[in-house]
Structure 1
């Protein structure tokens, strides 16, 4: 394994050096730092051009300048890292990177995780409903999303998701045609997603349509958009629903110990803990680290409840209850942030237009942890949706194709012939193997998110890695461009190595071959 890893890293480093060399030379040919001076009418034009040429060493061949840059990169191994500086801002690249990387992580990480979760779920359902109307619709939608230009989606979101929605919040009133269309669409989605006889599917259609219509009617007629929140009842209902769903997928509802552990966790977290956290947050202004600690504590409580109930396999109960506790904790956090929505919207910098379109945060905004959390959400909503719509299609197609291939394997037919329930066949046998191809895709996506999203960051004005790269090209600033290329290249190498290890863990045949 060590020999394989050493060979892989050595070959990857060689490829990275070749790629960075070619890109350095090509970038140097493509950009012209003297462009603005060439068209200048200043009487000192020639002197200015000579000074900039000397400053940027433009009289030195680009291969030699690449070696100077590579020497600065090599200095990182001995604590003397030098990635150059921006001649436009006179700021070193090392000073620019922390803020850019943090901004890109903030923007892309959550969108990537949500896209993976939704894409995998919809892809699995689409494969299980192959050649149905639901499958055809999902296939059409995913191909449509995959082909959408990101900048076009971003512009539409700014127009209708921010400008139009903020205008609506000034004078809210129910839009009954839209409510009816969304309710019917939701009913059709769940009718296609749920299996069963025609009668059962029609019941699902009616139930989903009525529930969606009732929920939207409440949202648009009760002033919920101006004063949102879930409350004790809403949090408890969501926690109980999560308990039933997670138990069904994890162990099956026939495992009573696991079901009781999940329901108990839902009641404890969605009821008692929810009520207690209202007082806690009232007296204490939390931090990110405190929230992380509370999340770990919530999972530990769920695991403890699961172990206490035991069952045929007590760790199944513990795992199920732990997941329910995590979901309930997230719901409590979201509800607490919602309680500050009205206060945030009325602040002078916001002026009743909370959905923001530019930047990662509102400059000069003063407030506690929750005000800044809401501010982060309002700036994240639109760019996250733009990224999710595109990435969702990729994961859906990957998952659907892999699941269809697995469902036709002999061991699936053998499992059914043994009398195993359909849930067990799908969750325990089919899905685990169907997700294997994603092991080569997900690590790469997760590792390269630091590279940012060039178009999305540019349209929404986020100063992340993508924006740094775009600004470097626009301003003919080669050092920030090369820093972007270097970091993305290194992360791509690490991602592929991680993917190899994950494949080896999930598929014993690969370990035997290696």
Structure 2
């Protein structure tokens, strides 16, 4: 394995060197840093051109300038990183990259995680419901999403989700056709997802439709949008549901120790709801405190699972930790939602909370929770745009892989041994069906980190994609090369991680490597 990784790393470095020299020469031929001066009417035009040539060393051979640039890149290995200068702003490229990479990471991280989770879940269900109405519907939606141009999706989101929702918040009303239509569609979705015989399908459809209809009426008639919240009742319901669902999917409800550990963790989360509210109000909260509480949550889950033990202590611990994480996320979201009213009523927001451009609201006051909500409102539209496009990719891959696995001999053997369908699917089929994603997910993440150029441009995020496009337009070769070398290195690293993960997950590959 070590020799395999060493060979791959050596190949990656060689490819990056070849890539960098080729791109440096091509970019130097493509751009003209003197373009604005050539059309200048200044009386000292010749002197200005001479000064810029001297400033950018344009009188030196391109390969010599490349070697100078490469020397600065090599300094990164000894703590003296020098990726050049963006000469128009007279700013170090490393400073530009810090902000651009942070913006891109903030934009794509949540979108990628949500797309992966939803895509895998829907793809698995679609495969298990093969050739049903639900499967055809998901297949149709996936192909539509995969085919949609991102700029068109972004414009639609701005028009209907941002502008339309902001107008609705200011003048809320009860639109009966929309309410009924949403309830009926949700009933059809859950009926197709849960499946079963005709009687079970009818019960599922009626129950899902009625629950959706009641929830919609509660939200619209109680003025929930004026001060949205989850509240203690919502936390209790979600905590109990999380414990049951996590246990069912991971071990099955027959494993009482695992179920009790998950329910105990859920109960602890509910009991701590009000103390946490006082805790948040009594201190100056920052991101490090939230991270510390997250690790405390994991520790509590591990401890609860360890105490309950059971036939397999790791199963109880895993279920308790997952339940604790879900509850902590719900409590965090609830606390952020509590500042909705002061946020929307502030003068800089003007009762139009869903932002259509930028990453933050300028001159916005308030504490950590207000700024967190502001980040969420700015992330909503670009994240949805990325989710809608990438969701289809993960759905199709997961469905195809799951269908292939379900026809294997060991699946038939597992069923012949009398294992429950949940055990066959979750423990045997799903784990092997997710193997191809080990090679797809790292590359997909790095692709997004490289910069969602169109998304960043439409929504006004200055990330890696915008940095590349703007620098290319300004004829600044150093930022463009920094972008290429970073994205190229990340792509090589992603492929290396994908191979490594695949080797760990599949013993046949590990032996052959």
- By the TM > 0.5 criterion, same fold? yes
Cα-to-partner distance string for 1:223-249 (whole Å, 9 max, x where unaligned): 111200011000110111111111110
Aligned equivalents of 2:128, 2:350: Cα separation in 1 = 48
Query: Is 1:501–2:511 an aligned residue pair?
Result: no
- Does the C-alpha gap of structure 1 residues 251 and 69 become closer, same or farther in structure 2, counting only changes over 3 Å? same
1:369 shift after superposition: 0.8
* Contact 1:439-1:503 at 8 Å conserved across structures: yes
| Cα 1:79–1:325 shift into 2, 3 Å | closer
The match for 2:306 is 307
Structure 2 equivalent of residue 297 of structure 1: 296
The Cα offsets for residues 457-484 of structure 1, whole Å up to 9 and x where unpaired, read as 1111112111111211221211111111
**CA offset at residue 135 of structure 1?**
0.9
- Return the offset for 1:157: 1.3
Within 5 Å, give how 1:477-492 maps onto structure 2.
477-492=476-491
Q: C-alpha distance in 1, partners of 2:177/2:27? A: 53
* Aligned residue number for residue 384 of structure 1: 383
- 1:186 alignment partner in structure 2: 186
> Which stretches of structure 1, 4 residues or more, deviate above 6 A after TM superposition?
none
Displacement of 1:49 in angstroms is 2.9
Partner residue in 2 for 1:27:
27
Give the equivalent residue in structure 1 for 2:128.
128
Alignment of 1:199-218 (within 5 A): 199-218=199-218
- Once residues 217 and 43 of structure 1 are traced to their aligned partners in structure 2, the CA distance between those partners, rounded to angstroms, is 72
Kindly provide the CA deviation profile for residues 150-193 of structure 1, in whole angstroms up to 9, marking residues without a partner as x.
12211221122212211221111122222222211111111111
Deviation at residue 449 of structure 1 after TM alignment? 4.3
- The normalised TM-score by structure 1 is 0.97
Question: How far apart, in 1, do the equivalents of 2:448 and 2:321 lie?
Answer: 28
In the alignment, what sits opposite 1:354? 353
> In the alignment, which residue of structure 2 is the partner of 1:475?
474
Report deviation, 1:16: 0.8
- Identify the residue that residue 444 of structure 1 maps to in structure 2: 443
Structure 1 residue 112, shift from structure 2 partner = 0.6
In structure 1, runs of 5+ residues without a counterpart are none
Moved more, 114-123 or 276-285: 276-285
Give the whole-Å Cα distance in 1 for the aligned partners of 2:227 and 2:321. 31
Native 8 Å contact 1:24 1:482 kept in 2: yes
Show CA shifts across 1:275-304 (max 9, x none).
211111121221111111111111222222
Query: Residue deviations 1:49-102, cap 9 Å, x none?
Result: 333233223333433322221121112223332111111211010111111111
1:425 alignment partner in structure 2: 424
Partner of 2:336: 337
Task: Give CA-to-partner distance per residue, 1:7-45, whole Å, 9 cap, x none.
Answer: 111111111111122222222222222223333333433
Distance 2:157 2:40 in 1: 39
CA deviations over 1:248-282 (Å, ceiling 9, x no partner) = 1011111122222222221221x211121111112
Aligned partner of 1:3 in structure 2 is 3
How far apart in 1 are the matches of 2:420 and 2:310?
A: 19
Partner Cα distance (1:44, 1:153) in 2: 49
Pairs within 5 Å for 1:77-116? 77-116=77-116
Which residue does the alignment assign to 2:369?
370
Aligned to 1:242: 242
> CA–CA distance in 2 between the matches of 1:45 and 1:180?
70
In structure 2, what is the Cα distance between the partners aligned to 1:151 and 1:55? Answer: 38
Deviates more, 1:457-466 or 1:42-51: 42-51
C-alpha distance in structure 2 between counterparts of 1:410 and 1:67, whole Å: 57
Aligned to 2:409: 410
| Mapping for residues 311-326 of structure 1, pairs under 5 Å | 311-326=310-325
Per-residue deviation at 1:447? Answer: 4.1
Q: Distance in 2 between matches of 1:69 and 1:213?
A: 63
| Matched ranges for 1:213-232 at <5 A | 213-232=213-232
Maintained 8 Å contact 1:261/1:317: yes
1:458–1:470 Cα contact (<8 Å) kept: no
User: Aligned equivalents of 2:219 and 2:316: distance in 1?
Assistant: 36
**Is the contact made by 1:105 and 1:452 (CA closer than 8 Å) also made in structure 2?**
no
Identify the range of structure 1 (439-448 vs 231-240) with the bigger mean alpha-carbon deviation: 439-448
**Which secondary structure does the structure 2 equivalent of 1:425 belong to?**
helix
> Contact conserved, 1:116 with 1:392, CA < 8 A, in 2?
yes
Within 1, Cα distance between the matches of 2:364 and 2:292?
26
- 1:137-148 mapped onto 2 (5 Å cutoff): 137-148=137-148
Greater mean deviation of Cα atoms: 100-109 or 406-415: 100-109
C-alpha separation in 1, matches of 2:476 and 2:350 = 38
Q: Quote the Cα distance in structure 2 between the aligned partners of 1:351 and 1:464.
A: 27
The DSSP-based 3-state class of the residue aligned with 1:319 is: helix
Inter-partner Cα distance in structure 2 for 1:201 and 1:337: 37
Q: Give the equivalent residue in structure 1 for 2:459.
A: 460
Q: What is the aligned partner in structure 2 of residue 52 from structure 1?
A: 52
Q: CA deviation at 1:448?
A: 4.7
> How far did residue 495 of structure 1 move?
1.2
CA RMSD for the aligned pairs?
1.5
Helix, strand or coil: the match of 2:226? coil
Kept in 2: contact 1:103–1:464 (CA 8 A) = yes
Question: Matched residues in 2 for 1:397 and 1:38: separation?
Answer: 52
Q: Which residue of 2 aligns with 1:64?
A: 64
In the aligned structure 2, how far is the partner of 1:480 from the partner of 1:221? 53
